[in-house]
């Protein structure tokens, strides 16, 4: 049967559209692609995974630390690796902003991964992508949760400490404030509640919960937040003195039920008034967020699937791609910088 030129054109168009639809699951918003380094640096993801696994074997708090590092990177200037930049004589960087200093850790794991990747593929893999890969690998180690990470991010060259306050949600936010904070990053209420499940691992400094949570509620020095279980409040008071500050080295786990496993038990804790921070318990004070909490608490498998998708969505926030940004040789310094020396951080944890 003969084909006219018009019929042939239609056939070619249909085949092209079919091929495009087949590719869509692998191509994500703003130019990110699963397997972005398959040709240019095929071992990139495995080298990052090896660096994370080695660090995790020595200290399991690597896992929550790296997940939090990814979140704090993406929420300030997008997922551009700007949280990794060191401060210098003329600028205080994000890592030294109030929500990050002194609790944000995991930088040396990224340094190790970057060194391995640079040795294999010079100036090819961005620091921003390494942070995204490391967060996925951390979730795999802590909760057997993994996903395909779209990559192709480029590194930013601006990092300003004061911007952390305007973008990162503090531990005393209420439900409405949390919903708006995530909406500002184009993340839904459901994604906000789902991503909050990362608080099933990690710790917080006592200074985060002393004023208003376990002491000094509504100006009463001896009162604790009534949304907190009284027995849990007593336990926390026994560990955290009332004069604790953010620099006080005492920490408590974010999830009392399964503190070392990334799972949905965090939501069970919320149902039982066992949330450590005000912003966590706040999820039970809103009819929509509490419904999501109850749903996640009742179905581990469903929460895991939502968590994976939400992590991918978060990884798309304001990314730099194509010719934007750069591929940093040293994740702590922009390529045009003066080569500030590498600073090795000795602690890795998911701390607040």
Give the residue numbers of the binding site for Ca(2+).
73, 76, 78, 80, 82, 94, 255, 258, 263
What distance in Å separates the CA atoms of residue 50 and residue 134, rounded to the nearest whole number? 10
In degrees to the nearest 10, what's the CA dihedral of 73, 79, 85, 89? Answer: -90
Q: Which residues are annotated as a binding site?
A: 73, 76, 78, 80, 82, 94, 169, 199, 255, 258, 263
Q: Map residue 329 onto helix, strand or coil.
A: coil
What distance in Å separates the CA atoms of residue 222 and residue 238, rounded to the nearest whole number? 13
Give the distance from CA 51 to its chain's centroid: 18
Triad 206, 212, 217: Cα angle to 5°: 140
Tokens 């010079």 correspond to 122
Q: Which residues are annotated as a binding site for substrate?
A: 169
What distance in Å separates the CA atoms of residue 259 and residue 161, rounded to the nearest whole number? 30
Q: Given 28, 72, 105, 205, which residue is catalytic?
A: 72
Record the tokens describing residue 96, joined without a space.
């030294």
Alpha carbon distances (Å) from 284 to 266, 271, 275, 292, 297:
12, 7, 10, 9, 12
What distance in Å separates the CA atoms of residue 212 and residue 190, rounded to the nearest whole number? 27
Query: By CB neighbour count within 10 A (0-12 exposed, 13-18 middle, 19+ buried), where does 209 fall?
Result: buried
Q: Is 205 a catalytic residue?
A: no
What distance in Å separates the CA atoms of residue 301 and residue 276, rounded to the nearest whole number? 24
Q: Which residues are annotated as a binding site for heme b?
A: 199
**Nearest partner of 160 among 102, 92, 114, judged by Cα:** 92
Which residues are CB-neighbours of 326 under 8 A, at least 6 positions away?
154, 155, 157, 334, 335
E strands along the chain, which residues?
27-28, 32-34, 150-151, 203-205, 251-253
Active site residues: 72
């Amino acid at each position: 049967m003969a084909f006219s030129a018009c019929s042939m054109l239609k056939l070619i168009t249909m085949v092209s559209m079919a091929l495009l639809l087949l590719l869509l699951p692998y191509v994500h918003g703003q130019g990110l692609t699963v397997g972005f380094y398959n040709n240019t640096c095929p071992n990139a993801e495995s080298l990052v995974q090896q660096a994370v696994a080695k660090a995790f074997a020595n200290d399991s708090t690597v896992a929550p630390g790296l997940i939090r590092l990814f979140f704090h990177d993406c929420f300030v200037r997008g997922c551009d690796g700007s949280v990794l930049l060191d401060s210098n004589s003329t600028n205080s960087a994000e890592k030294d902003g109030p929500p990050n200093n002194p609790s944000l850790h995991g930088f040396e794991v990224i340094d190790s991964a970057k060194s391995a990747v640079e040795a294999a593929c010079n100036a090819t893999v961005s620091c921003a992508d390494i942070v995204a890969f490391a967060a996925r690998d951390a979730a795999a180690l802590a909760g057997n949760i993994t996903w395909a990470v779209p990559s192709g991010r480029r590194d930013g060259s601006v990092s300003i400490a004061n911007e952390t306050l305007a973008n990162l949600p503090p531990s005393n936010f209420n439900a409405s404030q949390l919903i708006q904070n995530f909406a500002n990053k184009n993340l839904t209420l459901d994604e906000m509640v789902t991503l909050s499940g990362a608080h099933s691992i990690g710790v917080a400094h006592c200074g985060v919960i002393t004023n208003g949570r376990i002491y000094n509620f509504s100006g009463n020095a001896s009162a604790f937040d009534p949304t907190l279980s009284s027995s849990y409040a007593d336990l926390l008071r026994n560990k955290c003195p009332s004069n604790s500050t953010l620099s006080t080295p005492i920490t408590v786990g974010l999830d009392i039920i399964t503190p070392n496993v990334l799972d949905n038990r965090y939501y069970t804790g919320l149902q039982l008034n066992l949330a450590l921070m005000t912003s966590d318990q706040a999820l039970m004070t809103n009819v929509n967020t509490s419904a999501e909490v109850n749903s996640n608490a009742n179905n581990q498998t469903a929460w895991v699937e939502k968590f994976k998708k939400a992590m991918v969505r978060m990884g798309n926030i304001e990314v730099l791609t194509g010719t934007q940004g750069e591929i940093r040789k040293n994740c702590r310094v922009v390529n045009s910088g003066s080569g500030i020396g590498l600073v090795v951080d000795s602690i890795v944890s998911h701390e607040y």
